[in-house]
Structure 1
Amino acid sequence: MREKVISRAVRLIGLGGAVFSMQVLAQTASEAPMQTVQVTGSRIASPGAESPSPLQVLTSADIAASGATNLQELLMKNPTLGTPTVSRTNSNFSTSSAGVSTVNLRNLDTSRTLVLLNGRRFVSGIPGDSAVDLNVIPTDFIERVELLTGGASATYGSDAVAGVVNIITKRNFSGLILDVQGGQSTKHDDTKKKFSATWGTSNADASSNIMVHFGFSKQGAVYSKDRAASAIDQNSEGDPEDLFRVQRPYYSGYAPQGHFFGDTDDFTYDRNGNIIEWNTNGTNGQAATGFNRSDYRSIAVPTDRYLLATTGTMNLNDNHTVFFEGNYASTRVTTKLEPFALGSDDIYKGSGYVPAETLINGVLRRNPYVPDRLFNDISDNDGDGLRDYVFTRRMSEVGNRGSKANRDTFRLATGLKGTFNLLREWNYETYVAYGQTKESQSSSGQVNVLNFRHALEAFQDTDDVNQNNNRTEIICADPIARALGCVPINLFGFNTITPEALKYVGAPGSLETKVTQKLAGGSINGEIFDLPAGKVGFAAGFEWRGEESDSEADALTQAGLNAGNALPPTYGKFNVKELFAEVRVPVLKDKPFVNELNLSAAARRGKYSTVGYTSSWNVGGEWSPIPDVRVRATRALSTRAPNINELFQPPQQTFPSDIVDPCEDVTITDPSPRAVACRAAPGVLANMQANGGVFTLNQADQQGISGYDRGNPALKEEKGWSTTVGVVWTPRSIAPLKNFVFTLDYFDIKIADAIVLLPRQYTLENCYGGDASLCNLVTRRRTDIAGNSAGSLEYVDSPTNNTGGKATEGVDVTASWAGAVGPGRLNARVAWTWLREGYDTPTPGANRDYWAGEIAQSPKNKASINLAYKWGPIGIAGTTTYIGKAYLDDQFLAQLDLPRNSVGVGSRTYQDFQLTYELRKKFELYFGMDNAFNTKAPPIVTGLPGNTTGAETEAGAYDAIGRRYYLGLRATL
């Protein structure tokens, strides 16, 4: 028998934050049909369902009031969310998945945040990962979003270590809603165009319903050159007295006219083809000869989306209903980077020396493109008997680097749900689902290393070697390369590479990825018997899931022969079978000091094809001493099995930007263990001997560090222990506060056996701090190569393992109220998160790397304030987002002998608002402005940890775009 408790259930959902629609819920609660409900975090549908875990809710009204095109834009304002791993503003340099939008609960990474659609898993948008791309979920089709923070693996399975983001779509809607919107920034970029249509219809008795949504959105690019903070290449001077003092310009040493190195001399060219001295940044009154990369970079990548979503139900009879869900999303993303920075060590691996002459029929023949100044200053440096030189050059003739990605996501779920009687009434649901994400990416701006090498080795064919009666032409030395169309290349000066040579050395790239997810599951829930305090609820079920991922680049990219990142193919799959059960027990009710006391528990047992058996559980309780106060607590063990990339990814090249060499400035006479370990590297010792006894690095050394990340098939699952304790106050007995809700929740999450890539800085510090076993991950240059100093870091590799530990601890506070104020109605909500502690440990027993309060992770204080006032046809809504002060990474500061939390940036406050006006009740005109006061992002420039390349700030956390506005019209027909 169902009880009349919907008003109470709605109130409890509101504990987490249904803000702008709270008054609507309160008004309609008494009129709604009485039914059991189910909240995120539990499989038991029951009267008055209350989550013992912290639960926050964002409603469709919140989404509409934000004007958000993408759900990530709204979620990022919630203080429980950390900096996203991937977004429009931090993925321009991504080799794949650019423009994807992910979420990151508690700063524990997207792989530990489980995103659900209507309580079921959704296919990943990133190959080899579990992260869902929020681009593919249409915002206008969402009824609410429930944020459950804390371990939930017992209820939902792997990946819910930090919590769950459950997206609930609209249901049983009849009619047509049209929404059209346009906008841009005050700099006339970041343009936004959006159109959506949602239609639904039901049969005469409303027993069956179908809904269809179509949406299109187009978000324009924002280029670095169009913002004063990022228009010119810059770099922190690295002065411990003032790390925010910037060297500007700090142009790249890879210039379009080339930079050429002989034995004792180096030089470049001016626009007229004259040889001049090299001067990167225009010091001493000279014109700069370096290259401003910021002229070509992007802050936000342009993203186009076409969305189709549908849901439907059909009653077979009074007890059984068929349902289905369908989603299709087509996303188009374009990235833009500066032309490729090519060094001779990219072409001649190991030495970097380019031969300036060739042995033809026993006679040395000079490459005529090599100028006399260089030819007369070079000798045989690599022992092959040929004079050789070194160069760096920006390949402007090849064109800008960048990619165009077409990403398509498809998902279909269907099942049967209803009730049956077996001694008592039981609810049941069974479902199957299939999802797939495919990405096809084409890229440009790279070069074919093998062809480039042949093109560099050229000579004047005075003896008519190729027998074409032309003794003045310059030809390639290798006869096989000549037969395959080799064209000699001239690097010396601006625009000296001919179109024919470009065609020969150019290497357009491609990347094809596919992620497939298959699901099947079933569950029952109901009440098994009665106790004096109420009915005992029970749920049980099974799930099967298969995941498969394939990522394959073109052959040159796989082999690293396009002078860029080597990206070998990654393929893997796994499946898991799971059983779960849950029970809720009412212990006491209507007793002295006990209005209600309920206990709950859940357990899940799974078998993975990769890691074997896993177990998760949680226990919780709710105690209400009086009707207006509720105390809640949970303790949970969550597990996360490794994803496909973590298990199967072969060595994949990356270029870290925040590495500090622990050997820098070490002297040849320093007796410390670190100095001794540094001098053991032959290149470091040679560097010291050549630089007055001090290990010295240049700009190219700082920009020339690479490394390889790799997976590990021997990984095991990680375990997360979470504890939450909270109090909820709903003073319904106090008339002025009857719509007031206050929550305070403490959270503590600790992860053991965490799956981590060994941090590169940790590897370096410990390699030269006594752990020689880590030195096999470090490769240094033995000699000077292509502008890089002898002994400088060439590769620092990072393997994946189960050695890590993670922890976070803090407090969430929310307060909300809705009621009449003056002639209208006010809705107000405040949410604040205080992050007391957060840290990682790369290996057992290692010192903690604290990240709470750091720029690249999360400040200790984040808050949001939502206010909405409705007066007749006029409405105004505002959101204030506060990001507290934050500090540079403590490991970075330690390299400079600076204490933790000694250097940082101040807080930032962003204000968004929206005005609405109803026209004849069916039409609503709205105007909004984001970052209304044009709050500037803090200057986290290149060279500082947390920098987003191209933005000169942490663009995932702060707004690097500036003030934006939009205008829209919504019609309900």
Structure 2
Amino acid sequence: MKLRRQRLAIAVHCSLLLAVPSIVLAQDAPTTLDAVQVTGTRIKRAELEGQVPVQTLTREDIERSGLNSIGEVLQELTGSGSALNTKFNSSGNFGFPPDGGGVGAGSAQVDLRHLGSKRVLVLVDGIRWINEASASGVGAATDLNTIPLAIVERIEVLEDGASSLYGSDAIAGVVNIITRREFDGGQVTLNYGQFSKGDGTQQGIDLAWGHSTERTSLFLGASYTDQDPVYSRTREQSRFPTPGTGVAFGSSATPYGRFIFADPNSGEVVDLTPNTGATSPVYDSSQTGCDRTDDYHCFSTADRFNFAEYNLLVTPSERKGVFGQFRFFINDNLHWYVKALGNRRESTNQAAPEPLFLGPEAGTGNPLADNIFISALNPYNPFGFDLDSEDNLILIGRRPVEGGARVFEQKVDTQYFNTGLVGSFGAGNRTWFWDVNAAYSKNEAEQTNYGSYNINNIALALGDPAACAAVAGCVPLNIFGGPGTITPEMLAWIQPVVRDRSENKLTLASANLSGDLFDMPAGPLAFAAGYEYRKYEGWYQPDPLTVAGHYNGVPSLPTAGEYDVNEVFVELSVPIFAKSALGEKLDLSLAGRYSDYSTFGGEFTPKYGLRWQVTDEFLLRTTYAEGFRAPSIGELFGSAARADLQISDPCSIGLGGTPPRGNPANCAALGVPSGFQQPNSQISVTTGGNELLDPERSRSFSAGMVWSPGFASDASWSDRLDLEVTFYRHNLEGAIQAIDAQTQLDLCVETLDPQYCDGITRAATGGINGFNNRLVNLGYIKTDGWDVDLFWTLPETAAGRFKLAWQNTFVTRYEAVGAGGSRQPREPGVEVNDSAIPEWTSTATLDWKLGNWNASWSIRHIDELTEDCGDAAAFPVCSDQANGTNTLDATTYHDAQVGYKFNWLKGLQLTAGVNNLFDEDPPICLSCSLNGYDASTYDIPQGRFWYLRADLKF
């Protein structure tokens, strides 16, 4: 079946290449007056709509989805890639990404063409929106949860490079959120839903009110949304770290503790854990090997800790927002507007009780943990001798379950204010349009962390009891007994409340002018020009405990920076011919923008396009654009932070006993002894910014067609039929990223090349105890593919009116090449690093209306993927154990909705729906970090979700 599908796609692609076209994803056109401006052009002329690939999501489309956030809606587009959402339980699990943007806990982002969320520009009513703040860094992407869904009239998505029109970040595309403006009367919307297992309840209320007079227009909106959590332990697929492997991939930091050291009495290196129930274990130095009669046994896979059951499948989130805009029409040609928004998001992430890793193989990067000294005088030390990182201690892993789970609570406040004048004037027989705008926006966030530990106090409590007694509040710590042996007094000394804060600010001013310059034989030459000034300011301030180096969790340092940019742009629409033997009309579009950054200097980006209306039924389009993305504050100024990543050491024996996959001679040269087994699958990787970064530069090309055959218009079987095809290509050079850590380690072991091995250090026992992985301008990213879409409206009959929309994206290439030409693991059809690039994604929606009834049925399809099983290749859950790969089967979801409108007041619409009607589980992902599936691509396990909505207009 897959081979037939590939052949069909190739045949379609080859036939379309002969046409060399480009087209917009056609949707119902927005209402036009004398002139409009649409996403993808700055020229205000209605006939320029659709000049570039723009997909419009109407309010009806949004309501049909049954979703309650802009991010969730956009992530279901076939051209979307992996992005954060409420299914990512990121805090305490993923660590800090290298871009300095922070964890992004609780946010929802959008990724287009799999190029990353920071390469998508988000506008609101054509004005750039503020970047996120999540109290863990200075973000480079937009948190769509800062914009209430209730205020949205429609969303326009440009899936093409647009830096010449909008500036930095518009490499992969632009999302323009158009707010509700023309509204008379009131509206109350209530919604409620939950998963069929009775959890994950979502509920909310939206209020809207508007009033217009001859010279004024006012709209006010308020929104409240509350999302309850879903716990990982409630689903079989997410109950263990990796499905089908039990606790094999669990943590070696357990409630009883794991102790690896060299016994100074016997000289033997032991790897021990207390027997179950031994709260005051007795250790006998005279015993060797694993056949022991004291209170210890050799640590084994069965002793590992199942951290998964503490995690979340869906993170709780509460959002409150208010929005208003007022317009005053001074005269027929001039009006003033003002807009304001306030939004608060309160969200929570949760992770398993924080582990204590102590000793030289802890690899935490914190010297207080890596160089720990545990005194023989500690009253709870059962071994009778010092445990010294510089002598006999190798690793201790203890999970203080007494302190409870790690809970990370975020509060994110968004403020936005925008005002301006919009006008027009006549000059001769022409009309010119102008506007001036000023906007100020701010995102500020605070994260409060409960359940973490103070490693400085831990070190003091494990050392000499006399030194501990000299410090007020210090009590000796017992990490040697089983669960329950860490007392409340001990917790009071070692467990603080940690508070981190961050802020992003954007100040913006712009002025624009558009009109027709002069007439040409084929029509007027239209133009737009403008100036824009932006100032970015951002900072991240971790808790003083973290800054001092006393935080046991993932460390980070403060970040702060600012920069500004001045830009000018010009756009021309040049008519080449009209009503000729070559077709109805051919237009050439030209655009260019010059940007002057205070951080790196000037940059010019051009764009060229052709729009050829061959006949009334057939249209061809093509565009070529150059773009760039300026390094963000976090990427430039981000200080050292840490990510704890799932990395397999090629020099280690596999968990299933498989031999090391790395070259034995090279492993020996790196200091890894024969028989070494990686004690912990998580390796701490230090990340950070780089002030010497250059901008990313890109080249984008699109070509496509739209065919609206006359025989399918106003026919007995069809009112309208549109077939649309777009080929896209993006080449990104100097991508700002760190080389994939697993790839870096593999290349180090394979080549011993210093460019890969520098920054990776190992303890005397062979384990990795340092991994430095910094941001650089790497090689390139190249991707291309096709959008193939069909829209069909059937005539109205006694059975009602039906509409079919079938949208497809084929990704034919994705190449990412890093330092020294190293190929990164992402490519079409592959799952890696908690993200996927399916070769084919498809969404088909059938709408039906009859009188006051309406219904819809949607089918979402994701093509099959493959992944590297890693150490899980030793388990039957890996579908191809011989080759060490696992297949994630193709997945299809069905969503259904039905509604009825009562003629009460201005209308009462009642709607009921089910997403994932047949309760399709996501395919098992063995390489994913959490919950056994890819949260950015699939619905949660046992994820049938039903909802009700009542919408009253008055």
Candidates 758, 778, 782, aligned match of 1:807: 782
Q: Which amino acid aligns with 1:878?
A: W
Give the match's secondary structure for 1:740: strand
Q: Which amino acid aligns with 2:650?
A: P
How far off is 1:317 after superposition?
1.0
Does residue 926 (structure 1) correspond to residue 911 (structure 2)? The answer is: yes
CA contact (8 A) 1:52 1:634 kept: no
Does residue 120 (structure 1) correspond to residue 137 (structure 2)? The answer is: no
Aligned equivalent of 1:10: none
Structure-2 change in CA distance of 1:334 and 1:609 (3 Å): same
Candidates 196, 200, 204, aligned match of 1:190: 200
How far off is 1:822 after superposition?
2.7
How far off is 1:277 after superposition?
3.9
Q: Residues of 1 paired with 2:587 and 2:563: CA distance?
A: 38
Matches within 5 A, 1:298-697: 298-345=312-359, 349=368, 354-357=373-376, 366-371=377-382, 374-375=383-384, 391-423=396-428, 424-458=430-464, 476-478=465-467, 482-491=470-479, 492-657=481-646, 659-664=647-652, 674-682=663-671, 684=672, 687-688=673-674, 691=675, 696-697=676-677
CA RMSD in angstroms, aligned pairs only: 2.8
Aligned equivalent of 1:906: 889
Aligned equivalent of 1:361: none
Structure-2 change in CA distance of 1:99 and 1:672 (3 Å): closer
Give the match's secondary structure for 1:178: strand
Candidates 763, 770, 789, aligned match of 2:744: 763
Q: Residues of 2 paired with 1:482 and 1:870: CA distance?
A: 78
Structure-2 change in CA distance of 1:351 and 1:844 (3 Å): closer
CA contact (8 A) 1:402 1:444 kept: yes
Aligned equivalent of 1:97: 104
Aligned equivalent of 1:360: none
Q: Residues of 2 paired with 1:380 and 1:873: CA distance?
A: 77
Q: Residues of 2 paired with 1:486 and 1:449: CA distance?
A: 13
How far off is 1:324 after superposition?
1.8
Aligned equivalent of 2:939: 959
How far off is 1:397 after superposition?
1.7
Moved more, 843-852 or 954-963: 843-852
Aligned equivalent of 2:733: 752
Q: Residues of 2 paired with 1:671 and 1:140: CA distance?
A: 55
Aligned equivalent of 1:740: 721
Q: Which amino acid aligns with 1:801?
A: V
How far off is 1:443 after superposition?
0.3
How far off is 1:289 after superposition?
4.3
Query: For residues 429-469 of structure 1, what are the alpha-carbon distances to aligned partners after superposition, in whole Å with 9 as ceiling and x for unaligned?
Result: 110000000101110111111111111124xxxxxxxxxxx
How far off is 1:486 after superposition?
1.4
How far off is 1:182 after superposition?
0.8
Q: Residues of 1 paired with 2:574 and 2:393: CA distance?
A: 81
Q: Residues of 1 paired with 2:690 and 2:550: CA distance?
A: 25
Structure 1 spans left out of the alignment, 5+ residues: 1-12, 236-244, 358-365, 459-475, 784-789
Q: Which amino acid aligns with 2:852?
A: P
Aligned equivalent of 1:852: 828
Aligned-residue identity in percent: 29
Aligned equivalent of 1:242: none
Q: Residues of 2 paired with 1:351 and 1:218: CA distance?
A: 42
Matches within 5 A, 1:121-200: 121-126=128-133, 127-200=137-210
Q: Which amino acid aligns with 1:563?
A: N
CA contact (8 A) 1:723 1:748 kept: yes
Aligned equivalent of 2:59: 60
Query: For residues 508-538 of structure 1, what are the alpha-carbon distances to aligned partners after superposition, in whole Å with 9 as ceiling and x for unaligned?
Result: 2110111100110010000011112111110
Q: Which amino acid aligns with 1:814?
A: D
Does residue 791 (structure 1) correspond to residue 799 (structure 2)? The answer is: no
Give the match's secondary structure for 1:888: strand
How far off is 1:415 after superposition?
0.3
Give the match's secondary structure for 2:836: coil
CA contact (8 A) 2:209 2:220 kept: yes
Q: Residues of 1 paired with 2:627 and 2:609: CA distance?
A: 14
Structure-2 change in CA distance of 1:901 and 1:210 (3 Å): farther
Q: Which amino acid aligns with 2:914?
A: M
How far off is 1:87 after superposition?
4.1
Q: Residues of 2 paired with 1:14 and 1:918: CA distance?
A: 36
Q: Which amino acid aligns with 1:750?
A: N
Give the match's secondary structure for 1:774: helix
Q: Which amino acid aligns with 1:259?
A: R
Q: Residues of 1 paired with 2:397 and 2:570: CA distance?
A: 63
CA contact (8 A) 1:642 1:717 kept: yes
CA contact (8 A) 2:869 2:886 kept: no
Structure-2 change in CA distance of 1:320 and 1:225 (3 Å): same
Q: Residues of 1 paired with 2:639 and 2:700: CA distance?
A: 33
Query: For residues 482-529 of structure 1, what are the alpha-carbon distances to aligned partners after superposition, in whole Å with 9 as ceiling and x for unaligned?
Result: 243211122222211222221111122110111100110010000011
CA contact (8 A) 2:733 2:781 kept: yes
Aligned equivalent of 1:220: 228
Aligned equivalent of 1:37: 36
Q: Residues of 2 paired with 1:672 and 1:455: CA distance?
A: 41
Q: Which amino acid aligns with 2:902?
A: L
Structure-2 change in CA distance of 1:548 and 1:389 (3 Å): closer
> Which structure exhibits the higher relative contact order, with contacts defined as CA atoms closer than 8 Å and separated by 6 or more residues?
2
Q: Residues of 2 paired with 1:503 and 1:599: CA distance?
A: 71
Does residue 715 (structure 1) correspond to residue 684 (structure 2)? The answer is: no
Q: Which amino acid aligns with 1:36?
A: A
CA contact (8 A) 2:150 2:222 kept: no
Aligned equivalent of 1:862: 841
Q: Residues of 1 paired with 2:370 and 2:148: CA distance?
A: 53
Q: Residues of 2 paired with 1:272 and 1:33: CA distance?
A: 77
CA contact (8 A) 2:650 2:660 kept: no
CA contact (8 A) 1:52 1:633 kept: no
Aligned equivalent of 2:760: 779
Query: For residues 73-127 of structure 1, what are the alpha-carbon distances to aligned partners after superposition, in whole Å with 9 as ceiling and x for unaligned?
Result: 2212210111114544353536643110000000000111111111110011145
Does residue 972 (structure 1) correspond to residue 934 (structure 2)? The answer is: no
CA contact (8 A) 1:805 1:843 kept: no
Q: Residues of 1 paired with 2:223 and 2:255: CA distance?
A: 43
Structure-2 change in CA distance of 1:628 and 1:558 (3 Å): same
How far off is 1:316 after superposition?
0.9
Matches within 5 A, 1:217-256: 217-234=225-242, 246-247=245-246, 250-256=249-255
Aligned equivalent of 1:110: 117
Aligned equivalent of 1:881: 860
CA contact (8 A) 1:105 1:149 kept: yes
Q: Residues of 2 paired with 1:562 and 1:938: CA distance?
A: 37
Structure-2 change in CA distance of 1:268 and 1:582 (3 Å): same
Structure-2 change in CA distance of 1:369 and 1:891 (3 Å): closer
How far off is 1:193 after superposition?
0.7
Aligned equivalent of 2:810: 834
Give the match's secondary structure for 1:501: helix
